[in-house]
Amino acid sequence: MSPIQALLLGLVQGLTEFLPVSSSGHLEIVKALFGLELSGNESLTFDVVVHLGTALSTIVVFRKEIGEIVAGLLKFEWNDETKFASFILLSMVPAGFIGLGFEDEISTLFEGQLLLIAAALTVTGLLLFLADRAKTSGKPVNAAEAVIIGLAQAIAILPGISRSGSTIATSVLLGIDREKAAKFSFLMVLPIILGKAMLDAKDIISGEALGAEVSTLSLLLGLSAAFFSGILACNWMITLVKRAKLRYFSYYCFAIAVIVVITQFI
């Protein structure tokens, strides 16, 4: 992997982690365009770094909300902050179960399978289109809805199914306030990203997946690109969700799916 490739892949990860267009699907498409075939060691190391970049960008954007949640938890009482934290924990259960048990197998099925990714992008587009036309009641997330949103996040392990798109769309279709839906979607994934990064980093440090094939420069460029583009995309996405502009991303998903299908038959 060259430094330029690392920079571009970091930008794609940072932007598509928050924009509802599937980061995993776009990364596979970009790798195919580059003709880039990463080894398991190289891919794992780079993935840990760029996901850390997007996690840090989430912390920066939602530093106020995270601070309030931590302060509420430190009071050791049942309040709005502890309730919100419990809903995040509930939403993590489905994704945690499927992610820890089956993510590698699912991801392997989609490696280089651009037609399957195109089909998944079409599903993402349909979800976004429906959500954009839905009316919300302005209500906050409750326990049952947190589990349903968590199931949507678990399904988004499939490359081409956008995590943010599926969780935000599901929240809006359930009648949850659009801004609350966006914030919950981005905060609910933070513990999962950090937890997975720690597990993968443990493998790298232990030598099970030594990432010496990736240069320090490439890692730094990927991290920086994912971090700064993630901040931009996260803020932009919150604004777009509030203004009911998800349909534009549905059109984008449809267009990319069509282009991918065409290129596979040329």
Q: Select from 244, 233, 99 the least CA-distant residue to 181.
A: 244
Rounded CA separation 153/93 (Å): 10
Per-residue tokens: 64: 């106020």
| Contact between residue 10 and residue 229 where contact means Cβ atoms under 8 Å apart | yes
* Residues 207-246 pLDDT 10s: 554 445 667 888 899 999 999 999 999 898 888 887 777 8
Per-residue tokens: 252: 């984008």
The arithmetic mean of pLDDT across residues 84-106, rounded, is: 78
* Residues 25-78 pLDDT 10s: 777 778 778 777 665 566 667 878 888 898 899 999 999 989 988 888 888 888
- Residue 215 has a pLDDT of 79
Name the residue range of residue 87's domain.
3-265
Side chain identity at residue 138, one-letter code = G
Q: What is the 3-state secondary structure (H, E, C) of the chain?
A: CCHHHHHHHHHHHHHHHHCCCCHHHHHHHHHHHHCCCCCHHHHHHHHHHHHHHHHHHHHHHCHHHHHHHHHHHHCCCCCHHHHHHHHHHHHHHHHHHHHHHHHHHHHHHHCCCHHHHHHHHHHHHHHHHHHHHCCCCCECCCHHHHHHHHHHHHHCCCCCCCHHHHHHHHHHHCCECHHHHHHHHHHHCHHHHHHHHHHHHHHHHHCCCCCCCCCHHHHHHHHHHHHHHHHHHHHHHHHHHHCCCHHHHHHHHHHHHHHHHHHHHC
| Contact between residue 261 and residue 139 where contact means Cβ atoms under 8 Å apart | no
Position 258 pLDDT exceeds 90 = yes
- Residue 210 has a pLDDT of 47
- Residue 63 has a pLDDT of 92
- Residue 198 has a pLDDT of 75
Which residue matches tokens 């502009």?
245
* Residues 105-136 pLDDT 10s: 666 665 667 888 889 899 999 999 998 888 77
* Residues 133-178 pLDDT 10s: 887 777 888 889 999 999 998 888 887 888 888 999 999 899 888 8
Rounded to whole angstroms, what are the CA distances from 130 to 7, 111, 172? 34, 29, 9
The reported pTM is 0.81
* Residues 176-202 pLDDT 10s: 888 888 888 888 888 877 877 777 666
Our count of domains for the chain comes to 1
